[in-house]
Structure 1
Amino acid sequence: MTTLTAGVVLGLMSLSMATLPAQAQENERSAPQYAPTMLILDASGSMQRPDSAGTMMDSAKNAVRSFVAAAPAESQVGLTVYGTGTGSSEAEKTEGCSDVQVLRKPDTLDRVALTGAVDGIHASGWTPMGNALRQAADVLPNSGPRSVVLVSDGDDTCAPPDPCEVARELKRQGVDLVMHAIGFAVDGKARAQLTCMAQATGGTYTDAADGPALERTLPRVTAAALRNYKAAGTPIAGAPTYAAAPVATPGQYLDTIGQKETRYYAVDVPDGATAYFSGTVSFPRIPDIESSKDNNVVQLRVYGADGRDCNEFEFEQATKSSDGVALTVAQAFDGAKEKRDGKNVDADKCKGGGRYYFAPTWDKVSKGVPERLPMELLVGIEPAVTDPGPVAVAPLTVFTQPAGAGAPAVGGGSFNVASALDGSGRYTDSVQPGEFVFYRVKLDWGQGLAYRVRYGANGGRGVENISNVSTALYSPTRERIDSDFAAYTGTEQVLPSSRDALATVPIRYGNRTSDTYEHRTQSVAGWHYIAVKLGSTAAEGDNLPVPVQLDLTLTGTPEAGPKYADAVTAGIFGENAPSAGAGTEPTGGVTSTGDRLPDAVADNAAAVDVGTPDSGSSTAAIAVVAAGVALCCVVGWLVVRRRRR
C-alpha cells in the first residue's frame, strides 16, 4: 500500500520530527538551558569608517543594543572587544595584537551593565581575531554547549595565530563551541576567513552590507546561538554496507552522514515485536539561498536477512532548509509480527524475528550545506502484546479556554531540551525572529491534549515587518501529528486559525490500527511535543520579539495500557537501563558503542558533538499578504512523507 501526504507549513523547524522517545526523558527539567554566548566585537581603526549611524562602530553599537533589549532574561551573554587600547600604526602592532578585553563575562543577562559596556567602546586599533577567539573560549564555561558571535569588518591583521586554525584547534580539543560570524561590509578575503572560522566549529557566516543590515542580522544570529538545535546521543559509526553494520540496541545514538551517503545499522528484532528506527538531520541556517536550491531529502529503507529489500521505504523532504530545519525520517517496522510460511524464501527474509538493517540516505542536497552533518538515531523495540487494551478510537480532545495571566515557560532550542508543561493551563514565553522553540507535555495511556498558540502584538507594522508563524504537535517518537501556520505582521495571530485547537484523541495502543494516518501516530504514551516558530522578519523589518501564549487542555483518566508478552523493564527505547552497554558485535566486525539513552539527554547535560568528517565515510510555499499597496512573500517549505509497505 502506498500513502502520500503533504503539508505546507511556513517556517516550522521540522514538519516530521521523529527522534528520541518521550519516555526517554523521565528526569524533569525545570527550564531549558540557553547556551552561554560571547559576543566578540571588532573595534579596530577601520570601524571608524562612515556609516548610516555615523560610523560603523556606531552602527555596531546600535545592533548590540537591539539584541540586548530583546534577549531572554535567562540567557547568559558576555562581551569581548578588541582594538580599543592602541592605535593602528605599525609601531603599535605588537601591543595592538594582544589588545583583547573581556568587558562582560557570560553571566545571566544584565542589560544595564552590558549596554553600558557597549557605550564605552572606542574603535582605534588592530584586528587580533585569533587571540580574541581563544580568550572568549577561555572565559566561557568549561563544559556544555557554548556559542560565540563575532562581528568584524575585515580579516585578521595579527596572525599568527591564524583565526581559522584557532577555530579548528578548539574543535580538535573537543571544545563544545559553535562560532557564528557576521561580516560587516567585508571584502572577499575577510569573508573567506570568517566563513572558515564559522564552518570549522559548525556555525554559520552571514553578510551585513551596512549598518541597517547589521542591526537586523545581529539579533537574529545571536538568538539562534542562544537557542540552537543540538544533536545528542551515544556515538555510533554506521557502515557503508549491511554486512558491516553495527548492531544497535534500544537507545539514542549520534553519527554523521555525508551528502548522497547511505549508512547501515543493524537491529535484532524478536518474534512479534515492533521495531522503531528514526534518523534526524539538523540543517544549519544559511542566508540568501534560492528556494529552488534549498531542498533536502532523507530516505530510509529496511533490509532483512542477507540484505533482502523488505519493501519498507520512507522519505522526508523539506524545502527552505536554510531556515534551520531539523528533518526526521522514521520507520515503525512490524515485519517481525508476520509468520514465515516457507513458500517464498526471499519473502520470508523480511518476516518474523531476526536481524534487520535500517539504512538512512541523505539523498537530495541543498546548496551551501556542509559536506557532513550530525545525525541523531533512535532505536526502539516494543514486544508483542497479549492484550492491546481499548481498540476503538475515541473522539478528539475538546479544548477548554483557560483563564489567568499564565505561568512563564521558556521553550528549549531543540527536542532534547524541550521545556515541560505541567498539564492544563496557560503558559507564556517570548520568541525572537528566526527562533524555533519546543515544549513537552506528558500523556499517559487514555489521556489526550488540545492546545492553541496566541502570538501577541509586538508593535511592528507594515509589510517590512512581515514574517510567518507556525506550530506543530508531535508524538513521543517525534512523528508529526498535526500543524498549522499563518502570516504575522506585528498584530495578534492565533493558531490554529480555522478551528478551536490542535488536538489528539486519547492515546491508545489500538489507535495504530486506525484507517486514519493521524490516529495511528497517537498510539504511544509518553512525552508529546509542541513546536512554536517565528519566522525571520522581512529584509527591512525591525526584528522585534513576539510574546507567545500557549493555552493547553489535558483530559482523560489514565488507563492501564497494553500488556506485553515480555517484560520491558529497560524501556522500549532503553531509557530505564541502569548503565550504558558495551555494544554487540555485528556480522562485519564493527561494534556498537552504546545501548541506551545517554545521560547527556536524560539529565539535560551537554550533548555529544560528532559533527566532523572523521566519523565515516520542493516545492516552495508562498503566502502573499497585502498591506497597503505593497506585497510581501512569506516562504515556508513543503514536507512530503511517502510510506510503502
Structure 2
Amino acid sequence: MPSRPRRRVLAPVPALILGAALLAPSATANAAPPPDASAPARIELVLDLSGSMNENDAGGQTRLAAAKQAVTRIIDTAPEKAPLGLRVYGATYPGQDRKQGCADTRQVLPITPMDKTARADARNQVAGFKAVGFTPIGVSLREAAKDLGPSGERRIVLVSDGEDTCAPPPPCDVARELKAQGVDLAVDVIGFRTPSSARSQLKCIADVTGGSYADAGDADSLTANLSTLFRKEWRTYQATGKPVAGSLGGCQDAPLVAPGQYLDRFTGGRDLYYKVKKRPDQQLQVSATAVAEGGYDRGSIITVAAGPPGQGGKPREWLREFDQSMGWADIITTGGRSKPGAGEDKPAPDDTGCIVIENSVTKAGDKPMQVELLIGIADKSTREAGARTPQPRTGADAEGGFSFNSATPIGPGTHRQSIAVGEAPFWRVELKAGQKLTVKAGVDIPGDFPASATTGWGLTVYNAKREAAECSRKAGATELLAGRTGRIERVCGPWQITAEGAGSSDAKGYDVPGTYYIQAQVAEPEKKARGIVVPMSLTVEVSGTPSADTGPVFHFGDTAAPDPAPAAASPRDSRPAAPADDDSLIAKLALPAAIGAAALILAGATLYAVKRRRTT
C-alpha cells in the first residue's frame, strides 16, 4: 500500500544521485563536490560590423563602441561551461565590390565553453573589431547555423542596425530554410538603432524561427537586451552525474550501483531500476530529480522506492516517497531514507535490494528526459567521520546556482541579486536539530512589467532529502501576481528542525537536519515572456539552540569524476562499474578514500538524515 500523499509545492527538483565513496573513520571531511553541470544551450552571437556601425548616435558614442561594450559584458558573465561562439560580418572588406563585400562573414570565436583562456581570447577579438563593410545577413545566418552543428539546443543571437544589403538570399527566406530543416534552432534578433524600413525584415527572422525581437537605442539597452537573451538560455537547471542506464524491465537485470551521483533519462513512461547494497546497520538515502526543458504538466508525479523486490516486482520495504508538479517548474524532485537498522555494533551481511524511479511524467513518444539519481549511506563509521560544511558566501558571491549541486552556500542575513523571469536559482543553508529556519524572499515588480495571468512569485524550501517542504498551510509555493506591482514577498517559517524520533513535522518535511535548499522563482510558463530582469532579496534567519545529537551522517561518494556526457547521449546498454561484493561497503571504501582522495573528499557536500518518512 503506497504511503499517504502529501500536499506538495511548486519547485524544480534534482535527480536521484547515486552513491558515496566514504571516508575513513579518522577523516573529518565529506565527499567531493558533484561534477560540473552539463553544458547549457549552444549559442552563436552574430554581430553587424557594417560601415553604418561607425555612426555616433548611441548615447554619445559610436554604435560600434556600444556593441563592443555589450558583447564584452556577455563574455565576462557567461557561465564557464556555456558554449558560446561569435561571428561577424562587414568587418574586413572596406571596398565597393559587391561580390567580395557580400562574402565578408567570418567566425572569430568557435563554439567553445567560456573558460579562462576562451574568455581572454574573446575579449581580445572584440577589442580589435572594426566596422567597414556590407550587410550580408542572410549569408551570415546560414553560416552560423553550420557553426552550431546539426543537433542539440542551439540559438543564434543576431545584432544588426539595418537591413540586408546583399540579398539574395533574403534573410527571412534563409530563416524559413533553417526552420524547414526541422532542427532545434531559433534566432533572436536585436535591432540596434534600426530604421523602421529594416525592422520588419529583422522581426520576420525572429518570428519564422520561434525567436524573439527587441529594439535597442543605446549601449545600456543593447547590453540589457543581450543579457536577457543569453540569461534565459543559460540559467536553467543543470543536471549532473555519471551516466548510467537503469533497467527498463525490473530489478532482475538492473545495474548494481555504489553510493554516488548518476544521470539517467526517462523514456516514454518507462520506470527505471537499479540494484543497491545496504547492510542492516546502515541507512540508505535515495533522492531523484526529473528535469524537463519545457516545464511539466500539472499533476505529473515522480516516485522513488527501495527495498527487496516485493509483490509485482516493485521494491518498497526500505523507503517510498513521491512528489507532484504544480506547474511552472522545470523539475520534480523527491527523496527518502530508510529507518535505522538494528545491530549497529554487530557485523551483518550485505542486503542487496532494488531502487525504482517510477515515471508518471513522460508518455510514449515523448522526448527523453534527464533524471538525476543520488544515493547515500550512513552508519557508525560515517558518524565518526563527521561532515564538513562549505564556507557561506556573501555579497556578489552569494548569487544563486542553478541546481541542487551548484546551490550557493549562504548563512543568516539578507542577500541581494537580480532574477529574470523563468530563472529558479538555488541556495543552501546548513541546519541542525533544535534550530529554527525562517526564509523571506522579496521581488520588486516594476509598473510596466508585462505579467500574464500565469505569472507568479515563488519560494520553495527543500529538506536534506531534497523533498519540497511545506512553507504555508494555506498556499502553495508560488503566488500569482494578478497584475500587482511593487514589492511582493513570500515567507517560509519559522519551522523547527527536529531530530529523529521527535515526530513533530512529518507533514511539513522539516524533520531532517543537514543541508536545506532554498529556491526562488519568477514563474512564467510562456517562454516568450522569459528573461526580463528584476531585483530580489533573500533573507535567512536561523535561531534556536542546536541539539547535541546530530543524528546519522550521510556520505554520497567520491563524485569528483570528469564531466559527464548528457544522459540522452549515453547508450541504454552502458553500465557503471559495480560495487565490490564485500562484507562492508564503508570499510572497503574508507581506506582508499582517506589515503588517495582526501583532498577531493574535503570539498564535498554532506546531507544529514535523522528520520525516515512513514512508508508502507
- Report the TM range for the smaller structure's normalisation: 0.5 to 0.7
Task: Tell me the secondary structure at the aligned position of residue 209 of structure 1.
Answer: helix
Counterpart for residue 420 of structure 1: 409
Q: Which of these residues, 427, 442, 451, is aligned with residue 454 of structure 1?
A: 442
Task: Tell me the secondary structure at the aligned position of residue 424 of structure 2.
Answer: strand
Answering whether residue 324 of structure 2 is matched by residue 317 of structure 1, we say: yes
Whole-Å Cα distance in 1 between the matches of residues 243 and 253 of structure 2?
A: 17
Whole-Å Cα distance in 2 between the matches of residues 25 and 379 of structure 1?
A: 14
Task: Tell me the secondary structure at the aligned position of residue 496 of structure 2.
Answer: coil
Is the contact between residue 42 and residue 148 of structure 2 (CA under 8 Å) also seen in structure 1?
Answer: no
Answering whether residue 362 of structure 2 is matched by residue 362 of structure 1, we say: no
Deviation at 1:495, TM superposition (A): 3.1
Q: Which of these residues, 466, 489, 497, is aligned with residue 495 of structure 1?
A: 489
Please list the CA deviations of residues 115-169 of structure 1 after superposition, one character each: whole Å capped at 9, or x if unmatched.
99799896325536675467679xxxxxxxx99631479xxxxxxxxxxxxxxxx
Deviation at 1:260, TM superposition (A): 1.6
Q: Which of these residues, 552, 559, 563, is aligned with residue 598 of structure 1?
A: 559
- 1:43-442 correspondence to structure 2 within 5 Å: 80-84=86-90, 92=99, 96=103, 99-102=106-109, 107=119, 123-124=135-136, 126-127=138-139, 132=144, 149-151=155-157, 189-193=177-181, 195-196=183-184, 208-209=206-207, 213-215=212-214, 222-240=230-248, 241-285=250-294, 296-304=300-308, 308-311=313-316, 313-318=320-325, 320=327, 325-334=330-339, 354-365=351-362, 369-370=366-367, 372-383=368-379, 409-421=398-410, 423-442=411-430
Identity of aligned residues (%): 18
Counterpart for residue 546 of structure 1: 534
Task: Tell me the secondary structure at the aligned position of residue 4 of structure 1.
Answer: coil
Is the contact between residue 247 and residue 265 of structure 1 (CA under 8 Å) also seen in structure 2?
Answer: yes
Q: Specify whether residues 510 and 192 from structure 1 end up closer, same or farther in structure 2 by C-alpha distance, changes over 3 A only.
A: farther
Answering whether residue 612 of structure 2 is matched by residue 612 of structure 1, we say: no
Deviation at 1:75, TM superposition (A): 5.6
Deviation at 1:314, TM superposition (A): 4.0
Is the contact between residue 418 and residue 439 of structure 1 (CA under 8 Å) also seen in structure 2?
Answer: yes
Please list the CA deviations of residues 550-586 of structure 1 after superposition, one character each: whole Å capped at 9, or x if unmatched.
111122344332566xxxxxx6233xxxxxxxxxxxx
Whole-Å Cα distance in 2 between the matches of residues 108 and 458 of structure 1?
A: 36
- Which consecutive residues of structure 1, in runs of 5 or more, have no partner in the other structure? 49-60, 138-145, 154-182, 199-205, 339-351, 388-404, 565-570, 575-595, 618-641
Whole-Å Cα distance in 2 between the matches of residues 147 and 420 of structure 1?
A: 30
Is the contact between residue 284 and residue 369 of structure 1 (CA under 8 Å) also seen in structure 2?
Answer: no
Q: Specify whether residues 610 and 311 from structure 1 end up closer, same or farther in structure 2 by C-alpha distance, changes over 3 A only.
A: closer
Counterpart for residue 143 of structure 1: none
Task: Tell me the secondary structure at the aligned position of residue 414 of structure 1.
Answer: coil
User: Quick one: which amino acid aligns to residue 573 of structure 1?
Assistant: H
Task: Tell me the secondary structure at the aligned position of residue 611 of structure 1.
Answer: helix
- Taking structure 1 as the reference length, what is the TM-score of the superposition? 0.59
User: Quick one: which amino acid aligns to residue 86 of structure 2?
Assistant: T
Q: Which of these residues, 507, 518, 522, is aligned with residue 517 of structure 1?
A: 507
Deviation at 1:310, TM superposition (A): 4.5
Q: Specify whether residues 482 and 434 from structure 1 end up closer, same or farther in structure 2 by C-alpha distance, changes over 3 A only.
A: same
Is the contact between residue 40 and residue 148 of structure 1 (CA under 8 Å) also seen in structure 2?
Answer: no
User: Quick one: which amino acid aligns to residue 402 of structure 2?
Assistant: G
Is the contact between residue 43 and residue 121 of structure 1 (CA under 8 Å) also seen in structure 2?
Answer: no
Is the contact between residue 62 and residue 215 of structure 1 (CA under 8 Å) also seen in structure 2?
Answer: no
Task: Tell me the secondary structure at the aligned position of residue 243 of structure 1.
Answer: coil
Whole-Å Cα distance in 2 between the matches of residues 219 and 17 of structure 1?
A: 29
- Taking structure 2 as the reference length, what is the TM-score of the superposition? 0.62
RMSD: 5.5
Counterpart for residue 620 of structure 1: none
User: Quick one: which amino acid aligns to residue 231 of structure 1?
Assistant: A
Is the contact between residue 271 and residue 336 of structure 1 (CA under 8 Å) also seen in structure 2?
Answer: yes
Counterpart for residue 590 of structure 2: none
Is the contact between residue 423 and residue 522 of structure 2 (CA under 8 Å) also seen in structure 1?
Answer: yes
User: Quick one: which amino acid aligns to residue 438 of structure 1?
Assistant: F
Deviation at 1:429, TM superposition (A): 0.9
Please list the CA deviations of residues 291-341 of structure 1 after superposition, one character each: whole Å capped at 9, or x if unmatched.
8x6764333343515875455654433254xx5612223232339669xxx
User: Quick one: which amino acid aligns to residue 215 of structure 1?
Assistant: A
Whole-Å Cα distance in 1 between the matches of residues 519 and 137 of structure 2?
A: 45
Is the contact between residue 86 and residue 99 of structure 1 (CA under 8 Å) also seen in structure 2?
Answer: no
Task: Tell me the secondary structure at the aligned position of residue 232 of structure 2.
Answer: helix
Whole-Å Cα distance in 2 between the matches of residues 502 and 21 of structure 1?
A: 31
Please list the CA deviations of residues 267-304 of structure 1 after superposition, one character each: whole Å capped at 9, or x if unmatched.
12212433221221211137xxxx8x676433334351
Is the contact between residue 449 and residue 503 of structure 1 (CA under 8 Å) also seen in structure 2?
Answer: yes
Counterpart for residue 555 of structure 1: 543
Counterpart for residue 479 of structure 1: 467
Q: Specify whether residues 134 and 554 from structure 1 end up closer, same or farther in structure 2 by C-alpha distance, changes over 3 A only.
A: farther
Q: Specify whether residues 119 and 439 from structure 1 end up closer, same or farther in structure 2 by C-alpha distance, changes over 3 A only.
A: farther
Is the contact between residue 19 and residue 375 of structure 2 (CA under 8 Å) also seen in structure 1?
Answer: no
Task: Tell me the secondary structure at the aligned position of residue 269 of structure 2.
Answer: coil
Whole-Å Cα distance in 1 between the matches of residues 205 and 303 of structure 2?
A: 33
Deviation at 1:191, TM superposition (A): 1.7
Q: Specify whether residues 18 and 524 from structure 1 end up closer, same or farther in structure 2 by C-alpha distance, changes over 3 A only.
A: farther
Task: Tell me the secondary structure at the aligned position of residue 541 of structure 2.
Answer: strand
Q: Specify whether residues 186 and 255 from structure 1 end up closer, same or farther in structure 2 by C-alpha distance, changes over 3 A only.
A: same
Whole-Å Cα distance in 2 between the matches of residues 294 and 366 of structure 1?
A: 14
Counterpart for residue 174 of structure 1: none
Q: Specify whether residues 248 and 3 from structure 1 end up closer, same or farther in structure 2 by C-alpha distance, changes over 3 A only.
A: same
Is the contact between residue 323 and residue 333 of structure 2 (CA under 8 Å) also seen in structure 1?
Answer: yes
Task: Tell me the secondary structure at the aligned position of residue 262 of structure 2.
Answer: strand
Whole-Å Cα distance in 1 between the matches of residues 120 and 525 of structure 2?
A: 27
Q: Specify whether residues 281 and 185 from structure 1 end up closer, same or farther in structure 2 by C-alpha distance, changes over 3 A only.
A: farther
Whole-Å Cα distance in 1 between the matches of residues 143 and 126 of structure 2?
A: 22
Deviation at 1:435, TM superposition (A): 0.6
Deviation at 1:643, TM superposition (A): 8.0
Whole-Å Cα distance in 1 between the matches of residues 243 and 526 of structure 2?
A: 39
Whole-Å Cα distance in 2 between the matches of residues 256 and 559 of structure 1?
A: 40
Q: Which of these residues, 481, 499, 521, is aligned with residue 533 of structure 1?
A: 521
